[in-house]
Structure 1
């Protein structure tokens, strides 16, 4: 690599060296070209005339399979592999065994490096690792553009300046427009083979020390954004920066002859390969942290600083990334960062939690966005609808500017109206409450004018920690929530874990149907220590104030009775220890399981309130997995079966003297909320962003006419009544 000569000559010599050193009859190097084609660029052992003539598509043949999966393959009987593709021009029919590795750089597949043997051979792990190390050298050569133009390494549909509309998943709402900044500029690695291992180890130690100091400063600065769960996320990230196993793997690669940079990249590539095989959300988050730390460590090794990069940010930055660690987002100038677009990501990912704390719109799972966007491309981000527009045309840009202006005007109007009473035209009070799951969410309580928190999801803080918080830690969190509520009621839902809410430190066997399996109150019944510890923390946190507790996924009265008995036991225990108990306590059940509808009367005198969790109720009512894209939109919340069930719940709660609220997605949709009000629901809890629009709807409707119209829909057999409800809203001038 350091010698003189043309790139093709170097590649030919590399192929010859590998074949000789690994005692292989064949060594072949394939390079990825435009259109996801792998072209044979160099070979030792195959027919020379096949070079630049033999081409395979990604996924075609064993070489194509290695490229498609970005993982090594070692085969003693290559011809028995289902992907084996015979190419007569190469003369490879006489070879039996084959081992190949992907050529990766920055997570991108750039080619394949393979060896073959005539005899049956079982390749060792050490030989695979050797080939992976050499592939790093080849990757740098390809990236230099000496063999193939850099533009050819991008997918065909990413080339050019065509406008694009890409959809994803909403991780945080909001709208923004600006210019693309790629989160991770490529860091040139330079030399990968070391001359002095001791010197490389010294450089690594120095870089690690610098990185740790930088993270400590970042953690201290993060407190400027207020206390919250994002602080716990950053502390966990900082802890992983000293992970002994991760550092040991880097040191081992240095001892095996790589430079400090080469060793970090090698470990980083291994981490990326592992991520592709891991489905567990927690493990993926941990691997992502390690990948981010490797990138950060490379910067320190290269003597580069984030500050220089940040001074060059456009005033309206739209950050584009595959995924990010939580600390990375805080590296950017908040005054310039307008939105975040991710190829991966989830609502509970650490970066999403930090972004919510900073009120940055985020769209996740925008496939291939990194391949389709160029630095400084103009981008429009609609976080509310999870859509982004890359290089928009004049018409789209004009329409978006108009929508953004209206969005800002509406936000200003909602803020101005936050103190107006949520009362219908005919004087009916409808209480609007806020859903929350993070301490940082509590800041929205005064901003929105919500009457309180109708649903605090206590499991969210558990999900962002690396271990189970003890009772004192929980009590401190709940105390801060009540303090920030400043006398407004807060309904704490006890741990609703299981299903799609997995705690990283709570491992149980996989279930065929987790949404209907061992979750929520069912776990609490079988692991009473979890629930009792949480109830004890809530009592301690109340410090004599009013307390509202709600148990999730109650299917029958017996479950509620047992859960309430645990609460009573903890209250008795607190009294015996001389601790202040709540001045008042209300206990409720979350109605998500249809079976509970028929036992509401039996809850009279036991439950103070019931809250409908419409998301799960609809899922169980229609036997429809709400996470299945094939069923998306097939069943509507505004349909006769749903409205009939809600009406029955309203009647039974009124008869039993039990307060009723709705805290699922139905409550936050103005049109759905209109139907709920027509059926007699008077308490609605929703995300902060929906309170303003729903307040407008409430203040514009007349319940007498609304009730008659809504009840007239119950006997209809349409799949959806949304159109009818929409027409009613339009006819009566009700915002929807």
Structure 2
């Protein structure tokens, strides 16, 4: 018999009565599965609840043996029910016994049932159970039946979440020993240190009503809330006009999500199925969390935070709770504790009240981290169990430089950390006061110290740091913060602004370096087993030459009448460099033919990141104007070590003898060919490594802005001749721990490396 159009609404109406009724959770579940079975004309309806250890337990059934209740258990991924939980997707099996995932449980008495339809029960982006129906006859279930069961599953998930059947979420009481101090380790996403008070960010919006009486009224409420949401985002953009254009573009891209017709349509469909506007938003949000969290593309997974933020904001507008009321009584030293952050959420807090952020998730390229960088707020991510281990108003000491959090620190630790924070602040003042002093050693050897940048907002640090220019401008980050590929005019304007903010200081532009962990939202990605060594960087732009040519065209126009310095990333063969150089030459001739004003001089270099290029230096060096050593990737490939993997990322020391010898040889070869060489990356920005590099003969370093001050203090306190003699001998030794010797040498010779 066909499924009646009004069955879903009638079912939800009766379900409302059942939920309002008395009795235990078990009683209500028993009544509910009987109701669902009747309304969907199913011979069986069963509810499975997720238990500890990722096991699904049969909690209630109508049609299967009652002896199987609380006895039948399936692991996630086991059987059809386990498959639904593992994939977080509905399953429609007209002949369940023929399905490859079918697992027979004799105690259930399901021998006579042929077809099965099941849906996950999702809350907070987590699967907390499975709701399934079965029939004796073999039949495919209709889409409307699946949608109805999904809506019922969402309501049941809310019912179960209010019981002790489901493990506490992030808002529940902290478990375990909550009085002893302890340390957590995560991933430092934005450097800095702070001692502050833990505050839970954005408590989950409580939904009072789940089922609606008037779909048209709920749709009207949704339209009004969306209008208010868009207006609020527009006001946020206008309020923070002091932030750079990059951040405003992030907000503009974020606002586009609020206009996404697909998102709004899915919420509207959920309302028409019988849910209130709030419940519909929650259902669509939970579904998006599950779907996007399973995506292989890290950029897509990170955009999940943007959508989650929007959904929560929309719920606040629907419930009338507002965005700022919860922030009125914040401590002055607030450290936010959160699962993730959307790109606008930091700006909801009073300026200066948030001193640090601790995230359960997080990645360096997520929009919230970029915003935190602009606001100079230290951030640590990848803190598993942060909500179960840190209680609201706990004292926390956040050391984002080393990815460490000290929770409820003892008086001694607190005092030591406070001194460290004050010392850090004092050092920053010293660095600021010394920014105009020359970059030279005690024996008057000059060293060119440059700054790395990746967004327009980074250029504001150039003057404060006192760097001599930008040795590496990562052009890919602006591409990643836009919803579509920027055209030539947009890129030209951006590069002109970068030059203006550089104030006449040199800027070295690196062409587009995407792929690996830096994926663009508007480029499809099939997924790779080893993306760091796959289709990325120059390999992509040589395969898509129109993209590289458009970028080169914009750089040429933005540098008209000035010197242009550009370099190509991840070159592995001389042939790749020649291919890229030919595209540059074509664009130069094209610009000349159209009568455009060309740069006064074009200097072209290569990043040295792939070890194979070392063995082609005799052919390469005559063709380049300069070389930049990308220490991060070069050492990753040298040691075959994934620097994003905590198990092995610290296994090999950048100051080991093999690295010292490699870098020494690179400098020799470049010097012999008369080609300038710069070391870029994390190694250049740490004083002890920078000291070793200067000892190896390097006279040009490029680093993050926060490394400029410490490196300047180090080099102004060292004697080049003494350091060179020591490092040269160290490179010829078999010392298993050169770092220890370098530290002792610095201490004995009064060189400031701390």
Q: Distance in 2 between matches of 1:149 and 1:519?
A: 41
> How far apart, CA to CA, are the structure 1 residues paired with 2:66 and 2:171?
25
Tell me the alpha carbon deviations over residues 590-629 of structure 1, each in whole angstroms, 9 at most, x when there is no partner: 2223343344454556433211111222233334443444
Question: Are 2:459 and 1:428 equivalent residues in the alignment?
Answer: no
The residue that corresponds to 1:615 in the other structure is: 632
- Partners of 2:374 and 2:47 lie apart in 1 by 48
Change (3 A) 1:10 1:606: closer
Secondary structure of the 2:472 match is strand
Alpha-carbon spacing, 1:580–1:398, altered in 2? closer, same or farther (3 Å): same
CA distance in 2, matches of 1:725, 1:579: 53
In structure 1, C-alpha distance between the alignment counterparts of 2:654 and 2:105, rounded to whole Å:
55
Q: Which residue of 2 aligns with 1:21?
A: 39
Q: Give how far 1:230 is off.
A: 1.6
Kindly provide the CA deviation profile for residues 456-512 of structure 1, in whole angstroms up to 9, marking residues without a partner as x: 111111122121111111111111111111111111111122333322223365555
After alignment, is 195-204 or 145-154 more displaced?
A: 145-154
* 2:148 counterpart of 1:130: yes
Out of 620-629 and 381-390, give the one that drifted further: 620-629
Q: Do the aligned partners of 1:151 and 1:159 also contact (CA within 8 Å) in 2?
A: no
CA contact 2:151–2:270 (8 Å) conserved in 1:
no
Q: Is the deviation greater in 8-17 or in 266-275?
A: 8-17
Tell me, yes or no, if structure 1 residue 730 matches structure 2 residue 747.
Answer: yes
Aligned residue-pair number: 733
Q: Is the 8 A contact 1:107 1:272 kept in 2?
A: yes
The 10-residue stretch of structure 1 (711-720 or 338-347) with the greater mean CA deviation from structure 2: 711-720
Q: Identify which of 210, 227, 238 aligns with 1:192.
A: 210
SS class of match (1:397):
helix
How far does the alpha carbon of each residue in 1:44-76 deviate from its partner, in whole angstroms, 9 at most, with x for none?
Answer: 34565776x548597496566755665545565
The answer on whether the counterparts of 2:641 and 2:649 sit within 8 Å (CA) in structure 1 is no
Aligned mates of 1:60, 1:575 — CA distance in 2? 63
Q: 1:471 to 1:125 in 2, by over 3 A?
A: same
Cα deviations by residue, 1:437-460 (Å, 9 ceiling, x for unpaired): 011001111111111111111111
Q: Which moved more, 1:140-149 or 1:266-275?
A: 140-149
Distance 1:128 1:553 in 2: 49
Cα distance in 1 for residues equivalent to 2:178 and 2:49: 22
Matches of residues 175-324 of structure 1 in structure 2 within 5 Å? 175-225=193-243, 227-324=244-341
| Structure-2 change in CA distance of 1:528 and 1:149 (3 Å) | closer
1:400 and 2:417 correspond: yes
Query: Does structure 1 residue 677 correspond to structure 2 residue 719?
Result: no
Which ranges in structure 1 are unaligned for 5 or more consecutive residues? none
Conserved 8 A contact 2:174-2:387: no
Partner in structure 2 of residue 489 of structure 1: 506
Aligned residue for 1:376, secondary structure, equals coil
CA gap 1:678/1:219 in 2 versus in 1, 3 angstroms: same
Pick from 356, 381, 384: which aligns with 1:364? 381
* Alignment partners' CA distance in 2, 1:65 and 1:40: 15
Helix, strand or coil at the partner of 1:223: coil
Is 1:461 matched with 2:482? no
CA 339–156 in structure 1, closer or farther in 2 if over 3 Å, else same: closer
In the alignment, the residues of structure 1 paired with residue 426 and residue 693 of structure 2 have an alpha-carbon distance, to the nearest angstrom, of 28
After TM superposition, the structure 1 stretch with the greater mean CA deviation from structure 2, 444-453 or 98-107, is: 98-107
CA, structure 1 residues 203+634, in 2 after alignment: closer, same or farther (shift >3 Å)?
same
Match for residue 426 of structure 2 among 377, 392, 409? 409
Q: Deviations over 1:325-357 (max 9, x none)?
A: 212222222221112222222111122222212
| In 2, Cα distance between equivalents of 1:152 and 1:344 | 13
2 CA distance for matches of 1:96 and 1:369? 45
**What secondary structure sits across from 2:607 in the alignment?**
strand
Q: 1:134 to 1:676 in 2, by over 3 A?
A: same
Change (3 A) 1:320 1:73: farther
Q: How far is 1:391 from its partner?
A: 3.5
Judging changes above 3 Å, is the alpha-carbon distance between structure 1 residues 150 and 424 closer, same or farther for their aligned structure 2 residues?
closer
For structure 2, list consecutive stretches of 5 or more residues without a partner in the other structure.
1-15
Q: What CA distance in whole angstroms lies between the structure 1 residues aligned with 2:280 and 2:245?
A: 36
Task: Confirm or deny that 1:714 pairs with 2:731.
Answer: yes
Cα distance in 2 for partners of 1:406, 1:309 equals 33
1:439 maps onto 2:443 in alignment: no
RMSD of aligned alpha carbons: 3.2
Q: How far does residue 206 in structure 1 lie from its aligned partner after superposition?
A: 1.0
Aligned residue in 2 for 1:172 = 190
CA deviations over 1:24-52 (Å, ceiling 9, x no partner) = 4443445567887766654434565776x
Partner of residue 10, structure 2: none
Distance 1:694 1:718, change over 3 A: same
Query: Hey, what's the Cα distance between the residues in 2 that align with 1:168 and 1:421?
Result: 37
Query: Which aligned pairs between 1:76-115 and structure 2 lie closer than 5 A?
Result: 76-77=95-96, 84=103, 86=105, 88=107, 99-115=117-133
**CA deviation digits over 1:96-150, x for unaligned, max 9?**
6655444333334544434455666655544333222112222333344498896
Q: Deviations over 1:681-708 (max 9, x none)?
A: 0011011111122112211221112112
| Contact residue 475 and residue 538 of structure 1 kept, 8 A | yes
SS in 1 for 2:283: helix
Could you report, residue by residue, the CA deviation over 1:77-112 in whole angstroms, capped at 9, with x for unpaired residues? 479876958595x76677666554443333345444
Tell me the residue number matched to 1:650. 667
Match of 2:9 in 1: none
Q: Distance in 1 between matches of 2:102 and 2:394?
A: 39
Contact 2:151 2:273 in 1 (8 A): no
> Conserved in 2, the CA contact under 8 Å of 1:593 and 1:620?
yes
2:568 counterpart of 1:551: yes
Distance 1:480 1:152 in 2: 43
- Return the match for 1:631 from 634, 648, 665: 648
Specify whether residues 630 and 377 from structure 1 end up closer, same or farther in structure 2 by C-alpha distance, changes over 3 A only. Answer: closer
Shift of 1:11: 3.3
What CA distance in whole angstroms lies between the structure 2 residues aligned with 1:391 and 1:85?
Answer: 51
CA shift, 1:316, in A, is 2.0
Q: Paired residue for 2:404, among 365, 387, 393?
A: 387
* Secondary structure of 1:384 counterpart: coil
Mapped contact 1:434–1:685 kept (Cα < 8 A): yes
Quick one: distance in 2 between partners of 1:151 and 1:123?
Answer: 34
